[in-house]
Amino acid sequence: MGLAARIYDATWGRGFAAVYDRGLKATEDAGLREIRREVLAGASGRTIDIGAGTGVNIELFPSQVTELVLAEPDPHMAAKLRPKLRASSVEAEVIEAPAEQLSFESSSFDTAVFTLVLWTVPDPAAALAEAARILRPEGAAVFVTPNRLTFARPDEIIDPYHYVEYDPAQLRELCEVHFGSVELHGIFGSQRYSQLIAEQLARLDRLLRRDPLRLRRLIPRRLRQRLYDRRLASERSEPDPRAAAITVDDFELRADALDKAHDLVAVCHAPGRG
């Protein structure tokens, strides 16, 4: 395996239609699904899931959601999403559209959610402006995104699908441009979960030390993505029993010491009044 492949093997895998559900299953089963449910519990009325991916959220919206729209620009992800939706009891409209350009009237939604999406959006500022535009004045947007300070490397974006990674202050600053009220929370892991993450980061550090000149940055993004996809498809074939033992009780959502959170959750109200 080449250096780039090993580097990407050592990072968290997210995304990518062919392997997305398989790649994420262990994490979802371990507790991410219940955290998602908790984060989505505040959704109500006409709701749009932006960057809906393969539809991992569809069964998790609460009953107060009266109408659901799933926006997903990637045709491969949308092709996974549609059959999953048909097989479920959930009624929703699927549109293939990017967050930056949603063809909906202004003030036409009550809730907009972005779970693990902002980092893959080429123009996040435009995406937030668009979310604020389509929300009603009393509407809310929820963003879940990894914390740059604890994800991979704080000084470098390693994942070839990511355009941006935020720390708590940066996420707040981004949201406050478009929303009058921003509450930040963090998703924290237990000691044993944090230990697994620390080991993963140590492996990544060892690999990156072999490339001190950061020549990896010269590899075209497309190629890095293909290497990453290939590794993601084959990785986790022998699951770590310690990872298998992680449950929802290993995670908690709270608002203090956010720099140490694994993921960040921003709940934003007062759209357009930032």
Contacts with ligand SAM, residue ranges (CB under 6 A): 14-15, 50-53, 56-57, 72-74, 77, 98-100, 115-117, 120-122
Of 212, 162, 151, 219, give the one whose Cα is nearest residue 2. Answer: 219
Kindly report the backbone phi and psi dihedral angles of residue 110, in degrees, each rounded to the nearest multiple of 5, phi listed first. Answer: -95, -30
Closest to ligand SAM by CB, 4 vs 113, is: 113
Q: 192 or 224, CB closer to ligand SAM?
A: 224
Q: Which is nearer to ligand SAM, 11 or 191 (CB)?
A: 11
Which residue, 27 or 190, is less far from ligand SAM as judged by CB? 27
* Helix %, strand %, coil % of the chain (to 5): 40, 25, 35
Shortest gap between Cβ of 200 and ligand SAM (angstroms)? 18
Taking the complex as a whole, the smallest distance from the CB of residue 59 to ligand SAM amounts, in Å, to 13
Nearer of residues 42 and 122 to ligand SAM, judged by Cβ: 122
Minimum distance of ligand SAM from residue 110's CB (angstroms)? 19
| Nearest residue to the partner ligand SAM, using Cβ | 53
Q: Which two tokens stand for residue 177?
A: 């441009």
Instruction: Judge whether 73 and 97 are in contact, CB under 8 Å.
Output: yes
Nearer to ligand SAM, 108 or 181 (CB): 108
Take residue 66 and report the two structure tokens written for it: 């009266």
In the complex, what is the shortest distance from the CB of residue 52 to ligand SAM, in angstroms, rounded to a whole number? 6
**What does each C-alpha distance from 28 to 57, 123, 243 come to in angstroms?**
11, 27, 12
- Neighbouring-strand partners of residue 71: 50, 95
Q: Considering the complex, what minimum distance in angstroms separates the CB of residue 73 from ligand SAM?
A: 5
- Minimum distance between the CB of residue 209 and ligand SAM, rounded to whole angstroms? 28
CB of 80 to ligand SAM, least distance (A): 9
Q: Which residues of 124-153 are buried (b: 16+ CB within 10 A; e: fewer)?
A: beebbbbbbbbbeeebbbbbbbbbbbbbbe
In terms of CB distance, is 137 or 151 closer to ligand SAM? 151
CA distances to 3, 207, 216, 217 from 213, rounded to whole Å, are 13, 13, 8, 9
Shortest Cβ 169–ligand SAM spacing (Å):
23
Give the residue with the Cβ less far from ligand SAM, 73 or 160.
Answer: 73
> Do 84 and 21 meet the contact criterion of CB atoms below 8 Å apart?
no
Q: How many CB atoms lie within 10 A of CB 251?
A: 20
